[in-house]
Amino acid sequence: MWSELNQKLDFWNIMTLIMFLFFAVFLIYPLGSLLLGSFQGSDGSFTLEHFQTFFEKKYYYQSLLHSFAVTISVTVLSIAIGVPLAYLMATLQIRGKGIIEILIIISVLSPPFIGAYSWILLLGRSGVVSKFFMEHFGVTVPSIYGFSGILLVFTLKLFPYIYLYVSGALKKMDSSLSEAAESLGVTGIKKMTTLILPLVLPTVLAGAMLVFMNSLADFGTPMLIGEGYSTMPVLIYSEFISEVGGDAHFAAALSTIMILITTVIFIAQKYVVNKKSYEMSSLRPIQPAKTKGIKNVLAHLFIYVIVGLAIIPQVTVIYTSFLKTRGAMFIDGFTFDSYRKVLDRMGDSILNTYVYGIIALIIIIVLGMLISYASVRRKNFFTSFIDTIAMFPYIVPGSVLGITLLLAFNKAPLLLSGTASILIISYIIRRLPYTMRSSAAIIYQLSPSMEEASISLGYSPMRTFINVTARLMMPGVLAGALLSWITVINELSSSIILFTGNTRTMSVAIYSEVIRASYGTAAALSTILTVTTVVSLLIFFKVTGSKEVSL
Amino acid sequence: MSTSIKFEQVRKDYDKNTVISNLNVMIKPGELFTLLGPSGCGKTTLLRMIAGFHSIDGGTISFDDQSINDIPAHKRNIGMVFQNYAIFPHMTVYNNVKYGLKNRKISKQEMIKRLDEIIETVQITAYKDRLPNRLSGGQQQRVALARAIVIHPKVLLMDEPLSNLDAKLRIDMRRAISEIQRSIGITTVYVTHDQEEALAISDRIAVMKDGFIQQVGYPDTIYLRPFNAFVATFIGHSNLFTGTVEKENGTTYVHLTKDYRVAIDTLTEEAQAEASVMIAVRPEEFTLSEDHTGIRATVKHRNFLGKYINYELVLDDGRSIEFTQDTNLKNRFIEVGEVVHLEAIPEKINVFTADGETSLIAGVTRYVE
């Protein structure tokens, strides 16, 4: 009896239980109460009035239509840019290819609201470019605010997802496939449409899903550049903020609608990708060929322009951070004043970002490794359940998660609102999927006999995990952890809901500085964030010896 | 010194299916015991039950009469060699071999002594400081063997250890494994689906199918005196005939076809007159008849294989049989299209009950100790 109990209480079963409790308390309970809350009236009775209100009033449902208009346009445009870019980079010899690839990675890893803000600096009402055209040609540049601005920022920020996904797929395509097609007399456009496009289509769809989700969930961009062009996350935020202390059920109902939409899209995408994806591995990847003449010039031009536009926000931010400012205006001359001001007044936000980020990262790595291992190697009902539930935040918009956590933990015994822990918990929950996914991917590549060898040599399952499995998982774990870390320090949409005066982070500080039109300090903070991102990326490249980031 | 392994009424369930039931066998101390069978026969499952990677769902497995059922895998003190070697890629060859020893309470000198010894024995001295990704398959195999043996395990388990090597290396490694195993006298359970490997390396072989042991015996008994038709056809090739027993003037005959019978004196009492039986004749257990007695057949294909020639022949009823002939220059080679008569060598052929399940040859048993 005792030995039976002892066997049941082995390392992995205990870990599974702990992980289950973690998600039960910090994800299932909050989301569950949010869902229930959306069907409750102010007196607690069951009602559908919130949903009715939403679909009856144009002011509300318009946000949903706006969201769809934005996300669909962004997705289409991103595909239109990302696929040809990936194809040209894979098949043609492009000058500066290495740098281009790194620039693309940097642009995708920087927070979108920085993009929004620097495009305002350039093309906004008092933007540099707008003023230039106004003063020298008397031409008014079309307004950057509203739909077009959101579209511009999102597209430039998100096309790299498509690019990186499709590039990955093209790298896996053996050139013998292309040669076989040519030997059968299929070349040029026909080869492209009958062979290459069908093979990369599932990958394009997977990338498109990411673009769609990201643009649907992002709060900072439409908030900064949308100006009245309200999308769902903006509506949720403003409804929630205006109702704090009172009745939060309407915001809950809005969140429920969002989650419903993202879930449907996620499932649809999974279905399509599972049905139509191909296992490919290449011994001889496609080699970039040299071209000449107009074709070569056009290809280079296309790539340089796109990548140039994508990286402009970073350049602008870094440049303006060294400019002298007077109020909201930049004036001639260079200075470190912005940085001094930032350190004086917002040093805490920098410290908070790193401290919370590192704590969250450590927990993410530990949890990610344990969950992915348990769900791959110790498959049972509980581990599969934890695996699924842990991936769920992938499709829960940040602002929605922020609201759920705040509503769930604003009273004893779990009074966490206003503390640093609630921010860290939200980071862990939101960014764990990256580490989990890439950890799981690498476990599938590891032969179980590696662990069995260690066990047969006398090491307990726990010590085997530490000595062998964890070590062998590291490349995958680090690749995921890099993304988790970068997205944690750049996190805005749940932080903006969860922070208080003492716990604001850099992204929150940037956001409030931009709102206050204190562009110099915002730029300095953004630069610090961007530099942190780039340095993290470089350290990752150095440590792993890889030159790629898997999204 | 060496350990015996005893299986008593061992059962294994997957979900609700029983894949092994009521398995009983005893492996002698110091023996190289092979589990041989087609894929899905349960041989690897059984091996992993000994290792502790699969639960034992019924019955008992014991080392030296001590049940190991409740001992977790890492405390069973077994050495295992895996099909893909499972060399830890993040450790050098030396550290791979040391890994298991580090976990034991032995002195530093003892550890170094044992390591040097084993590295010498399996001949990996030259590359002991390399990382495994720069080793060939055969070299990795030696490292895996050293790593498993150096901890002085009670039993050594080998799961298809040679299946990833090329043909020539397989034969070299086969001999190396056999020599090392004999020199340290460790009880070894060896899993393979390769009958030639099993015949060459084993002290005894258990032929398995569908979770049941079909026969346990020495390599020669398994080959020459298979206990049932499955063993006869799985080990080497056997041409199967359905025929009847005939007794005439104190002589016993079996009919291979309607017109051809052979006198046979190896049958048990159970083979009664007029009983239908199954007869297994290996391709080399035929001889060419010069006087038109025997089974009439037409040559369809001839495959010259060096040591011998393999013929595919068609009987009058349309069935195909195989016949091999030594490439002895004294032999007359036959041509495609030629009609020949084949006679079976009575002392060599095997006779089973009509269902093919039990041998009717005197002295043949399922288990040979």
Q: Which two tokens stand for residue A404?
A: 């759920």
Tokens 């610090």 correspond to: A528
Q: Does B162 lie in the same domain as B216?
A: yes
Q: Within this chain, do residues B164 and B58 fall inside the same structural domain, yes or no? A: yes
**What pLDDT is stored for residue A246 in this prediction?**
47
Chain A residues near residue B103 by CB distance under 8 angstroms: 457-459
Q: How confident is the model at residue A282 (pLDDT cuts 50, 70, 90)?
A: low
Query: Parallel, antiparallel, or unpaired for β A329-334 and B5-14?
Result: unpaired
Report pLDDT for B204: 96
Q: Please name the residue of chain A whose CA is at the shortest distance from the CA of residue B149.
A: A457
Assess whether pLDDT exceeds 80 at residue A187: no
Give B101 to chain A, closest Cα distance, Å: 8
Alpha carbon distance B344, A142 (integer Å) = 99
Report yes or no: A459 at the B interface, CB cutoff 8 Å.
Answer: yes
Name the closest residue on chain A to residue B98, using Cα atoms: A457
- Residue B52 inside a domain? The answer is yes
In the sheet with B5-14, reading across from the earlier edge strand, the strands are: B17-27, B5-14, B58-63, B66-67
Interface touch A468/B88, C-beta < 8 Å: yes
Q: Which domain holds residue B181?
A: 5-224
Whole-angstrom Cα distance, residue A365 to residue A474?
Answer: 10
Lowest mean pLDDT among A280-289, A366-375, A488-497, B357-366: A280-289
Q: How confident is the model at residue A422 (pLDDT cuts 50, 70, 90)?
A: very high
Question: Do the Cβ atoms of A472 and B90 come within 8 Å?
Answer: yes
Q: Which residues of B touch A6 (CB under 8 A)?
A: none
Name the residue of chain B whose CA is nearest to A456's CA.
B74
Is residue B211 located within the same domain as residue B255? no
Task: Tell me which of 3.30.450.20, 1.10.3720.10, 1.10.10.10, 1.20.1560.10 is the CATH number of domain A68-312.
Answer: 1.10.3720.10
Q: Are residues B9 and B149 in the same domain?
A: yes
Quote the pLDDT of residue B17: 87
Average pLDDT (A407-422) is 84
Instruction: Return the pLDDT at A1.
Output: 40
Q: What is the CATH number of the domain that holds B40?
A: 3.40.50.300
For A285, which DSSP code? B
Report yes or no on B360 lying in a domain.
no
C-alpha closest to that of A457 among B48, B84, B103, B92: B103
B195 and B245 inside one domain: no
- The answer to whether A466 contacts chain B (CB < 8 Å) is no
Average pLDDT, chain B: 91
The mean pLDDT of A404-425, rounded to a whole number, is 86
Using DSSP's 3-state secondary structure scheme, residue A79 falls into helix
Do B254 and B135 lie in one domain? The reply is no
d(CA A430, CA A435): 11
Q: What percent of chain A has pLDDT over 70?
A: 95
Clarify whether residues B203 and B329 are in a common domain.
no
Whether residue B245 sits in one domain with residue B214: no
> Same domain, yes or no, for B13 and B101?
yes
Q: Is the peptide bond preceding residue A160 cis, with omega within 30 degrees of 0?
A: no
Res A346: pLDDT: 86
Report pLDDT digits (tens) over A58-79: 888 999 999 999 999 999 999 9
Residues of chain B with pLDDT under 70: 1
Contact B104 A460 (CB under 8 A): no
Residue B367 lies in a domain: no
Inspect the interface and report whether the beta carbons of B78 and A456 lie closer than 8 Å: yes
**Whether residue B289 sits in one domain with residue B179:** no
Out of A459, A468, A472, closest to residue B103 by CB: A459
* pLDDT given at position A277: 65
Handedness of CA B131, B133, B138, B140 (dihedral sign): positive
pLDDT in tens, B150-168: 999 999 999 999 988 888 8
B94 and B169 fall within a common domain: yes
Q: Residue A243 above 70 pLDDT?
A: no
The residue among B165, B199, B224 that closes a domain is: B224
Written as one letter, the residue type at B39 is S
**Does A477 lie at the interface with B, CB-CB under 8 angstroms?**
no
- Domain residue ranges in chain A: 68-312
Q: In angstroms, rounded to a whole number, what is the distance separating the alpha carbons of residues A83 and A302?
A: 12
Instruction: Judge whether A71 and A210 are in contact, CB under 8 Å.
Output: no
Q: Does A228 touch chain B (CB under 8 A)?
A: no
Closest CA to A348 of A497, A526, A508: A508
Is B72–A7 a contact, with Cβ atoms under 8 angstroms apart?
Answer: yes
Whether B18 maps to a domain, the answer reads yes
Tokens linked to A39: 């069907």
- DSSP summary character for residue A332: E
Distances (CA, A) of A197 to A166, A189, A302, B321: 10, 10, 20, 53
Residue B286 falls inside a structural domain:
yes
The answer to the question of residue B362 being in a domain is no
Q: Which residues of B touch A (CB under 8 A)?
A: 51-53, 70, 72-80, 82-84, 86, 88-90, 99-100, 103-104, 144, 147-148, 151, 157
Q: Is the residue at B234 inside a domain?
A: no
* Closest partner CB to A447 (pick from B52, B84, B151): B84
Asked, for residue B111, whether it belongs to a domain, the answer is yes
Residues B247 and B208 both lie in one domain: no
- The answer to whether the CB of B30 falls within 8 A of the CB of B41 is no
Rounded distance between C-alpha atoms, residue B128 and residue B145, angstroms: 14
Name the residue among A87, A76, A78, A75 with its Cα closest to residue A156: A78
Q: Which of B224, B253, B286 is the last residue of a domain?
A: B224
Distance from CA of B131 to the nearest CA of A (A): 14
Asked if residues B5 and B155 have their Cβ atoms less than 8 Å apart, the reply is yes
Total domains in the fold of chain B = 2
Section A522-547 average pLDDT: 87
Minimum Cα–Cα distance from A448: chain B residue = B86
Size of interface A-B (CB pairs under 8 A): 66
Place of tokens 């620039």: A103
Handedness of CA A186, A187, A188, A193 (dihedral sign): positive
- Distance, CA of B90 to chain centre: 35
**Gap from A385 CA to chain B (nearest CA, Å):** 20
* A492 phi, psi to nearest 5 deg: -120, -45
3-state SS, one letter per residue, for chain B: CCCCEEEEEEEEEECCEEEEEEEEEEECCCCEEEEECCCCCCHHHHHHHHHCCCCCCEEEEEECCEECCCCCHHHCCEEEECCCCCCCCCCCHHHHHHHHHHCCCCCHHHHHHHHHHHHHHCCCHHHCCCCHHHCCHHHHHHHHHHHHHCCCCCEEEEECCCCCCCHHHHHHHHHHHHHHHHHHCCEEEEEECCHHHHHHHCCEEEEEECCEEEEEECHHHHHHCCCCHHHHHHCCCCEEEEEEEEEECCEEEEECCCCCEEECCCECCCCCCCCEEEEEECHHHEEECCCCCCEEEEEEEEEECCCEEEEEEEECCCCEEEEEEECCCCCCCCCCCCEEEEEECCCCCEEEECCCCCECECCCCCECC
Structure-token pair, residue A415: 């009074």
Does B92 or A243 have the greater pLDDT score?
B92
Tell me the two tokens of residue A500: 């208080």
Residue to substitute from B45, B48, B83, B103, interface A, most A β-carbons within 10 A: B103
pLDDT confidence of residue A333: 78
Spatial neighbors of B343 by CB under 8 A, at least 6 apart, are B262, B286, B287, B288, B289, B293, B294, B295
- Predicted pLDDT at A2: 47
Which chain B residues are Cβ-neighbours of A475 within 8 angstroms? Answer: none
Specify the CATH number for the domain of residue B307: 2.40.50.140
CB contacts, 8 Å: A450 with chain B: 86, 88
Question: Token pair of B77, please?
Answer: 């003190």
Name the pLDDT band for A303 (thresholds 50, 70, 90): very high
Residue A276 has pLDDT above 70, yes or no: no
Distance from CA of A428 to the nearest CA of B (A): 30
Choosing from B224, B254, B277, the residue where a domain stops is B224
Least reliable range by pLDDT among A78-92, A404-418, A505-519, B215-229: A404-418
